[in-house]
Structure 1
Amino acid sequence: MYSNSALDIIQKQINKFDKLNRIHRSHFEKQMATPLKALENEKRKLDAIQAFMTSGIQTINEFEQLLGEIEYPPMPNLRMSDMELLIDEIKKCVDDEQVIELLDGFILSRYTYRYVEMKLSIWSHYTWLGKRIEILRQIVEGHKNKLYFLSVPVIYPQIEGMLADTFPDIRNGKDEFKTKQLKDTFERVLSCHSDTLDNNWDRYYKEKLLSQFKHDDPIDHLSRHAMMHGKFYEYGTELNSIKSIIILDYILTKIDAFHKLKKDESENE
């Protein structure tokens, strides 16, 4: 048995230890309070960013789905607020014709001559274009001067030529580049740098632009074959010209991404 004095000494040591423990714990809690609070703030920020990104992806998917339902060409370089506004307005439309009228008006107001000039400035840095850049300059000049019957039909042979140059391995044994090869190269160029617009671009390019036609049937959309074979002669509008330039720009962007990818691969070998 311990004596009372021994117990007192032990109790004093315990009390002293408890006091020191409380001091250290308080000091530790104070030290940890700031970083813990900072971590909590960072987590809230990350959660907000994730929620924003999830909402953004949902908005893009919904917008592209609405365009796909009426077989309308994709519209790149839109702000999220633009898509949200268009979604709301599309839902107010009573039929597809009204939706198309809404989207056509938006395209003409958003993709201006200034926008086209800015795109030409970007294209001029694509060294792989070579002499084609002069053709693209004249396409833009034709558009700016409202020579839409000239600007529109020049675009599609240039797209085909650029795809044929970029993917020579896809040409058939006779070194020909026909519709099948064109579709194959289009799939290749879309797959090299995928984004959320690719499915709609693939659908629109194949089902609309490359659609076959009969001379007795009406043409109510941009059709490369109908234009080149003289069936569709009402294509010379500002709307069709800017739609064609948007298509051209999207494919140029994809081809440039492909060239950069190939360059990176060759440098890493």
Structure 2
Amino acid sequence: MDFFTSSIRNILIENVKSLKQTIEEIGETFRKEMKPIYESLLILREEFDTRDSVNAMIIESGYPPIWDIDIILEIQKKMEEAKDFENFDVSGSIINYFKSEEIGNFLDDWSRFPFLRGRMPILESVIECHKSGLYYSSISTLLPQFEGVIFEFFNHSYKYKENYLRIYLEQLLLTSYKAEGDSFNDKVMQYYKNYILVGFYGKEVASEISRHAFAHGYLKDFGTEQNSLKLLLLFNQIVTFLSELDDEEIEKAKTLVRLDSEKERDKKKAELIANNNLKQQLKEKEKDNEKFKALFLEFVGYEDEWLPTVPGLNKKRINCLHY
């Protein structure tokens, strides 16, 4: 090997060593920077799993799903202390959590939402009634606010239709009204549909917080702390979702409602035209029928005893042979 070749070889070896060292340094730096991100993802994964498992019991107890991890962890802690998952009182645990000043934190959060500014006196009254044990008042005041807040948030300008509310809810929760999935948003949608929008049949009321049964006066024994808290938790979740919507999502919801309204308008217009055409056809048929009746009576005659006299008709009696 000559001197020139040897020199090139040595240079390449040194450069490869430097490159290898640089790659190892980059890899080590990357691992150090990714470690906290990875650990954060693990924590999030654990929180999601915990939230799902605890929410399953919360929903089974008739309460809406809860996102707040502090509440979830508190309930989980109580469950672990009880060591009896099957008989654990989820409702009692939620009520006890909000027995303190925690219930007042709702107002602090809501006051930061511009779209609730005009409703704060109402919401303050709701919280005060709940804290004072006036649950009939807190429920009766809060239940109508759900749809009022949602429709006002989207600047709704059409007449009320439950289908419009469903469109808004779908865009708000980014899921289908008929969703049956296990995501948190799906569960909120299912709860709203099964507890708030559920219908009632006669005296049979499927939910003690049904807006339909309430509006028509079928609810009587709904004034409980549990029902009041259920509505507070759901309302808090709905307005939190609203506060996180961006302009594009809001406009999409408004466009879908407008298209649905136009579709309904065109449908009614087509039905009106069809009805008018049918009425006109019936009138023509009636005219033809009258002409035919007059012609028939003129031709065959009629008996006064059983056929009515038609004004202006040239009577022609029938001579009957009697045997």
Q: TM-score, normalization: structure 1?
A: 0.69
- What residue number does 1:76 align with? 67
Shift of 1:138: 0.9
Which amino acid letter does the alignment assign opposite residue 206 of structure 1? K
Shift of 1:144: 1.4
CA contact (8 A) 2:209 2:227 kept: yes
SS in structure 2 at match of 1:180: helix
Which amino acid letter does the alignment assign opposite residue 161 of structure 2? K
Q: Does 1:200 align with 2:187?
A: yes
- What residue number does 2:150 align with? 163
- What residue number does 1:261 align with? 247
Shift of 1:108: 0.5
Q: Does 1:58 align with 2:41?
A: no
Structure 2 unaligned segments of length 5 or more: list them: 176-181, 252-323
Shift of 1:83: 6.5
| Residue range with higher mean Cα deviation, 152-161 or 41-50 | 41-50
Alignment of 1:143-222 (within 5 A): 143-169=130-156, 171=158, 175=159, 177-191=160-174, 196-217=183-204, 219=206, 221-222=208-209
CA contact (8 A) 1:139 1:154 kept: yes
Equivalent residue pairs, number:
244
Alignment of 1:16-165 (within 5 A): 37-65=28-56, 67=58, 72-79=63-70, 81-82=73-74, 85=77, 92-94=84-86, 98=87, 102-165=89-152
Which residue, 222, 229, 232 being the options, matches 1:242?
229
C-alpha RMSD of the superposition: 3.8
Return the alpha-carbon distance in structure 1 between the equivalents of residues 151 and 8 of structure 2: 82
CA contact (8 A) 1:153 1:228 kept: no
Return the alpha-carbon distance in structure 1 between the equivalents of residues 206 and 20 of structure 2: 75
Measured at CA, do residues 142 and 131 of structure 1 come closer, stay the same or move farther in structure 2, by a change above 3 Å? same
Structure 1 unaligned segments of length 5 or more: list them: 1-6
Measured at CA, do residues 196 and 110 of structure 1 come closer, stay the same or move farther in structure 2, by a change above 3 Å? farther
SS in structure 1 at match of 2:198: coil
Greater fraction of residues in helix: 1
Return the alpha-carbon distance in structure 2 between the equivalents of residues 136 and 157 of structure 1: 11
CA contact (8 A) 1:170 1:184 kept: no
Shift of 1:206: 0.9
CA contact (8 A) 1:64 1:200 kept: no
Of structures 1 and 2, the larger Rg is shown by: 2
Q: TM-score, normalization: structure 2?
A: 0.60
State the percentage of identical aligned residues: 22
SS in structure 1 at match of 2:200: coil
Instruction: Give CA-to-partner distance per residue, 1:139-195, whole Å, 9 cap, x none.
Output: 111111111100012112111111221234573xxx2x1322222222222239xx9
Instruction: Give CA-to-partner distance per residue, 1:206-236, whole Å, 9 cap, x none.
Output: 1221111123325554222222222221111
Return the alpha-carbon distance in structure 2 between the equivalents of residues 215 and 263 of structure 1: 39
CA contact (8 A) 2:205 2:213 kept: no
Which amino acid letter does the alignment assign opposite residue 162 of structure 1? V
Measured at CA, do residues 183 and 88 of structure 1 come closer, stay the same or move farther in structure 2, by a change above 3 Å? farther
Shift of 1:16: 11
Return the alpha-carbon distance in structure 1 between the equivalents of residues 30 and 147 of structure 2: 53
